[in-house]
Amino acid sequence: MRVKKYKSIKNERIGEIVLNYQEKEMVIIEYNNNKDITIQFILTKEIVKTAYKEFRRGKIKSHLSPTVFEIGVTGIAPIVDENCKQLKSYTCWCNMLKRCYSDKYQEKHPTYIGCIVSEDFKIYGNFKKFYDKNYYEILELGRTDLDKDILHKYNKIYSEDNCVFAPQAINKLFVKKQNSRGDFPIGVVLHGKSYQSICHNRSGIRQHLGTFTTPKLAFNAYKEFKESLIKQTAEKYKSQLPIKLYEALMNYTVEITD
C-alpha cells in the first residue's frame, strides 16, 4: 500500500504549477521524493533541482528571467566575491541598466532618455566577460567609468562595440552642460555686447580664452583649446589607455552643434 500511495503522490505532483516569488511559472517535471524534485520554468525553460517544500513556497529563483529593471538577466554568473561583497562588474551592469530603463533616474538625467542596452549586454554573464577583459584603473585619473559615446559620438546604445572604460578625468572632458549655457554654442558666454570663450582645463578650473565679437569666433577659440586639451591628455596617458580609446581621443572633433 505504501508503494501505491507513493506512486499516487508522485503522479499527482508531476505537472504541478506554482508561481515563484518573481511571479514566474514553474512546473514539476520529475519527482523522486519530497526532497528531490526537478522543476522547469515555463517561460525560460530553465531547469532546477530542488525540494518540494521550496517549490511550494515559491522560493526558487529563475536566473534566466529579466529581473533587473525588468530587462536585465542576472543568470548564473557570480555577483559577489568570496567575502559576499558585490562585484564591481555587477554594480557597473546594474548602473548601466538604470541609466537606460529607470524613469526616475532619467528625470534627473534627461541626457540618457532614448539610451538602450544591446541584447548581449542585457545578460550579466556576457557583460561580466567584457568587464573582466577590459576594465583597468589609472589611479591619478580617478575612478574608471563605462562610456558609450567617446568611441562613437552621439551613440545611445550600450554594446561591446560601442563601449569602452574611461577614467573619470577623461570622461569629464566630454561633459556638456547644455541646460546652463543657454542658446549659445558650447564654450560661449555672452558678456555685455561681446562673447567670452571659456573652457575648463585639465585641473577642472574655468579658463578664460578671450573675448570676441561673434559667437562663432568665441566657439572657434573653445574648439581649438578643447581639442588640444583632449589630445594632450591622450598623449600623456597613451601607454596606459586602451588603443581604441587613445585613437578616439586623438580623432575627436568639437562641433558647434555639440
**Domains of the chain: residue spans and CATH:** 2-62 (no CATH), 68-168 (no CATH), 172-251 (3.30.730)
Yes or no: say if 70 and 128 are a contact pair by the CB < 8 Å rule: no
C-alpha cell at 139: 589611479
d(CA 41, CA 51): 15
- For residue 43, what pLDDT band results from cuts at 50, 70 and 90? confident
Yes or no: say if 171 and 146 are a contact pair by the CB < 8 Å rule: no
Length of the chain in terms of residues written: 258
Find the range with the poorest average confidence among 3-17, 91-105, 202-216: 3-17
Is 180 a residue whose pLDDT tops 60?
A: no
Q: What mean pLDDT value characterizes the chain?
A: 92
Going by their DSSP bridges, the two strands 194-200 and 47-50 should be labelled as unpaired
Is 83 a residue whose pLDDT tops 60?
A: yes
Is 192 a residue whose pLDDT tops 90?
A: no
* Residue 83: C-alpha distances to residues 40, 75, 92 (Å): 31, 20, 19
Other CB atoms within 10 A of residue 93 CB? 29
- For residue 239, what pLDDT band results from cuts at 50, 70 and 90? very high
d(CA 153, CA 159): 14
- Which of 8, 12, 44 has the alpha carbon at shortest distance from 25? 44
Containing 210, the helix (H) or strand (E) segment is strand 206-212
pLDDT at 1: 41
Average pLDDT of the segment spanning 190-216 = 90
Average pLDDT of the segment spanning 195-207 = 88
Look up residue 51 and give its DSSP letter.
-
What proportion of the chain, given as a percentage, has pLDDT over 70?
95
d(CA 160, CA 44): 24
pLDDT at 204: 79
d(CA 230, CA 82): 40
Containing 164, the helix (H) or strand (E) segment is strand 164-167
Other CB atoms within 10 A of residue 52 CB? 19
SS3 70: coil
- For residue 55, what pLDDT band results from cuts at 50, 70 and 90? very high
Average pLDDT of the segment spanning 33-45 = 91
Average pLDDT of the segment spanning 185-206 = 89
- For residue 257, what pLDDT band results from cuts at 50, 70 and 90? confident
